[in-house]
Amino acid sequence: MSVLGKVRAWFRGEYSRKHKLITHFIKDGDERLFVEKKHECPACHEDLNQPELEEAMYVCPNCNHHFRITPWERIKFTADGGVFHEFASDLESQNPLDFPDYEKQIASDMKKTGLKEAVVTGICRIERKEVVMAIMAFQFRGGSVGSVVGEKVTRAMLLAAEKGLPIVIFTASGGMRMQEGIFSLMQMAKTSAAVNFLEERKIPLFIVLTDPTSGGTTASYGMLGDVILAEPGALVGFAGRRVLDGTIKEKLPDNFQTAEFQQEKGFVDAIVSRSDMRKTLSFLIEAHADAQRAWK
Ligand SMILES: [Zn+2]
Measure 211 CA to ligand 1 centroid, in angstroms. 16
Distance 274 CA to ligand 1 centre (A): 15
Can you say whether the dihedral through the CA atoms of 102, 105, 109, 110 is positive or negative? positive
A 10 A CB-CB count for 294 gives 8
User: In angstroms, what is the span from residue 69 Cα to ligand 1's centroid?
Assistant: 16
For residue 121, report the phi and psi dihedrals to the nearest 5 degrees: -125, 145
Interatomic CA distance for residues 42 and 223, integer angstroms: 30
Sign of CA dihedral 133, 137, 138, 140: negative
Residue 18 within a domain:
no
Residue 144 C-alpha to ligand 1 middle, in angstroms?
A: 28
Q: How far is Cα 238 from Cα 220, in angstroms, rounded to an integer?
A: 10
Instruction: Identify whether 290 is part of a domain.
Output: yes
Q: What is the largest CA-CA distance in the chain?
A: 61
Query: What's the pLDDT tens digit per position in 248-284?
Result: 888 888 778 899 999 999 999 999 999 999 999 999 9
| Ligand 1 geometric centre to CA of 28 (Å) | 21
Annotate 97-159 with DSSP letters as a single string: T--TTHHHHHHHHHHHHS-SSSEEEEEEEETTEEEEEEEE-TTTGGG-B-HHHHHHHHHHHHH
Number of domains in the chain: 1
Cα(57) to ligand 1 centroid in Å equals: 13
CATH code of the domain containing 280: 3.90.226.10
Tell me the CA–centroid distance for residue 145 and ligand 1, in Å: 31
**Within a domain: residue 211?**
yes
Q: What percent of the chain has pLDDT over 90?
A: 78
Distance from the alpha carbon of residue 73 to the mean position of ligand 1, in angstroms: 20
Confidence grade of residue 16 (pLDDT, cut at 50, 70, 90): very low
Let me know if residue 25 belongs to a domain. Answer: no
Residue scoring higher pLDDT (11 or 273): 273
In a domain, 223, yes or no: yes
131/219 Cα distance (integer angstroms): 24
Chain-centre distance of CA 293, in angstroms? 28
**For residue 111, is it within any domain?**
yes
Residue 4 lies in a domain: no
> For position 161, what pLDDT does the model report?
94
DSSP H or E stretch at residue 173: strand 167-173
* 42 Cα–ligand 1 center, Å: 7
CA–CA distance, 264 with 260 (Å, rounded to integer):
6
The Å distance, Cα 34 to ligand 1 centre, comes to: 12
> At how many degrees (to 10) do helices 14-26 and 102-113 cross?
110
> 53 CA distance to ligand 1 centroid (A)?
10
Range of the domain at 177: 68-295
How far, in Å, from the CA of 276 to the mean position of ligand 1?
A: 18
What is the rounded CA–CA span in Å between residue 257 and residue 212?
A: 10
Angle (nearest 5°) at CA 36 between 30 and 37: 100
Is 49 contained in some domain? no
Q: For the CA atoms of 290, 266, 188, 30, what is the dihedral angle to 10 degrees?
A: -100
Residue 267 CA, ligand 1 centroid: distance in Å:
26
- Ligand 1 centre and the CA of 12: distance in Å? 37
Tens of pLDDT, residue by residue over 199-239, are 999 999 999 999 999 999 999 999 999 999 999 999 999 98
Distance (angstroms) between ligand 1 centre and the Cα of 134 equals 28
- Point out which residues pair with 270 in neighbouring strands: 229
